Amino acid sequence: MKNDNADLFIIYILSLFIYLNFCAFVFVFTLRFGNLSS
């Protein structure tokens, strides 16, 4: 029997990692844009 829980856990971790990277990118982009405008 295949362990589907392990696959779901890996997908969850990858999704969370990508989400955090996206938030960090938006945060840095906003800071740089704010510095350029001011």
The per-residue pLDDT for range 7-36, each reduced to its tens digit, is 999 999 999 999 999 999 999 999 998 877
What per-residue confidence (pLDDT) applies to 38?
62
Which pLDDT belongs to residue 26? 95
Does the pLDDT of residue 5 top 80, yes or no?
yes
In order of 2, 26, 33, the CA distances from 17 in angstroms are 25, 14, 24
Per-residue model confidence (pLDDT) at position 1: 59
**Which is nearest to 21 in space by CA: 9, 32, 29?**
29
Return the number of other C-beta atoms located less than 10 Å from residue 9's C-beta: 11
Residue pointed to by tokens 């840095």: 28
Q: Between 12 and 4, whose confidence is greater?
A: 12
